[in-house]
Amino acid sequence: MRLRRSIMRKPRAAVGSRSRCRKQACSQEGREKRALSSSQAKLSAPDGLARQQEEVRLQAAVSPYHLFRDTAEVTVFRKSLLSWYDREKRDLPWRRRVEGEVDPDRRAYAVWVSEVMLQQTQVATVIDYYTRWMQKWPTLQDLASASLEEVNQLWAGLGYYSRGRRLQEGARKVVEELGGHMPRTAETLQRLLPGVGRYTARAIASIAFGQATGVVDGNVVRVLCRVRAIGADPSSTLVSQQLWSLAQQLVEPARPGDFNQAAMELGATVCTPQRPLCSQCPVQSLCRARQRVEREQLSASRSLPGSCDVEECAPNTGQCQLCAPPTEPWDQTLGVANFPRKVSRRPPREECSATCVLEQPRALGGARILLVQRPNSGLLAGLWEFPSVTAEPSGQHQRKALLRALQSWVGPLPATRLRHLGQVVHTFSHIKLTYQVYGLALEEQTPVTIVPPGARWLTREEFHTAAVSTAMKKVFRVYEGQQPGTCKGSKRSQVSTLSRRKKPIAGQQVLDSFFRPHIPC
């Protein structure tokens, strides 16, 4: 399920201040044009013609029922949505910052940070991270001068860690190559800034710079699919193009940032995935999904089979490309939640890892634990973790491989003290990773003070503020308990330990002892 996307509001002062910054905008435009000319050539005439032909072909496969066919509907939609938004919008820190910011580059930066953080992350989680980020790096120049270690440290726990790295890369590009000024249009934002895609570019351009360009995120997809009864797969090329076209048609030119935020706010708070609050919807009168529900209820009350109006969902020829396929009939129990069609997702691939919390309880200055840094690319790039190895099915092989890895960092170790404590299951976006958790305390060894580059000894307090992933914090909780406990909270993770197993009844063979050291992964 896509997580909720939040909303920012373009300050009205931004439009009025544009004339005062005209000279600055002209020089900025020149820089963008020079950068664009060196990064991408213009489309040739044949390419443009092919694109137009493809759009005509796609439109021919769409019934007018799924479109806004007259300007009156569009006007009502805009007015109703914006009036509702002005009354009901949530008070969020990025909105307050954008509303009070007159500098266009700072305004765009504030929007950019919030948009990146909100990707695949809930609003409630982002609020604290956003506040701390903007306090630490209030400008592009501040972020550009920060170290990746600092960025990872503040981002730790927010997930999807490449977002923070790309945000800093983008800030450095703006400062070093664009004179410290953000690109002013959605096109140049998307082409010039790393990690900025179609949605983010249009969100920044509309909210910060007042460009009349529509946006489509998960919330907007849901709103548009219900308002126009689009039941086909929203991830397909045809449906995606149609949704972007609808968003562009609907956006209010006088208040594009507010309109886009209102559409996302509606999907996040009213037109929700389950149990939508239709009675509170400002555009209910224009909602095809709601009309379908009422029609089905009327048919059911009259004991008549539900049927669709031919004019509503049939194009000139063949099956309408925006309707649900015949193989997916209407579900009376879902109501408007029949839209949009749920996209089947690939299950995450499963991987296993063995990881060890290596501690020096009697180190000078207090107990310390060993952390090593991950590679600068790939999963959790640049973050710190406990020494880990890819796990083998056999527990004996796990132990040997893990010991070799530990000794490569700190030298000879007492193998007999390596204890298996339990496991942590953590799901990333595309990987379900099972960590077999081990612990080893160097009680009598001479404290190790020198480690190779890419490793460090930290106190427990330092560990909790270091750039480590949520998974590693769960691993450490298993170790801290010594008699391992259970990780509570997230549904996406699970901790299991040996102590959770029931004691055998009298006379029963203890299978764990019988089969040890085999540890299934």
Asked which of 89-98, 424-433, 500-509 is least confident by mean pLDDT, the reply is 500-509
C-alpha distance across the termini of the chain, in Å: 28
Could you say which of 32, 73, 99, 115 is catalytic?
Answer: 115
Structure confidence at residue 61 (pLDDT): 65
* pLDDT tens-digit series, residues 230-263: 999 999 999 999 999 999 999 999 999 999 999 9
Asked which of 25-34, 58-67, 134-143, 145-154 is least confident by mean pLDDT, the reply is 25-34
In sequence order, the 6+-apart residues with CB closer than 8 A to the CB of 278 are: 284, 287, 290, 336
Band (502; pLDDT cuts 50, 70, 90): very low
Residue 379, Cβ density class (10 Å: 0-12 exposed, 13-18 middle, ≥19 buried): middle
Structure tokens at 467: 């750039």
Contact 455, 462 (CB under 8 A): no
Structure tokens at 265: 């706010």
Structure confidence at residue 381 (pLDDT): 84
DSSP state of 35: H
Alpha-carbon distance of 457 to 13, in angstroms, equals 51
Contact 371, 388 (CB under 8 A): no
Query: Would residue 177 show up in a list of annotated catalytic residues for this protein?
Result: no
Residue with tokens 């309707």: 323
Residue with tokens 């379908």: 292
18-27, 61-70, 207-216, 316-325, range with greatest mean pLDDT? 207-216
Residue 258, Cβ density class (10 Å: 0-12 exposed, 13-18 middle, ≥19 buried): buried
The domain ranges of the chain are 349-481
Question: Nearest to residue 10, comparing CAs of 170, 212, 304?
Answer: 212
Q: Rounded to the nearest 10 degrees, what angle do helices 237-250 and 45-60 cross at?
A: 90
Mean pLDDT of the region 74-94: 98
* pTM of this structure: 0.75
- 127-471-454 Cα angle (round to 5): 105
Contact 288, 226 (CB under 8 A): yes
Q: Are strands 431-441 and 419-427 parallel, antiparallel or unpaired?
A: antiparallel
**HEC per residue, 97-158:** HHHCCCCHHHHHHHHHHHHHHCCCCCHHHHHHHHHHHHHHCCCHHHHHCCCHHHHHHHHCCC
Q: CATH homologous superfamily of domain 349-481?
A: Nucleoside Triphosphate Pyrophosphohydrolase (3.90.79.10)
In the predicted structure, residue 511 carries a pLDDT above the cut 50: no
In the predicted structure, residue 417 carries a pLDDT above the cut 70: yes
Band (392; pLDDT cuts 50, 70, 90): low
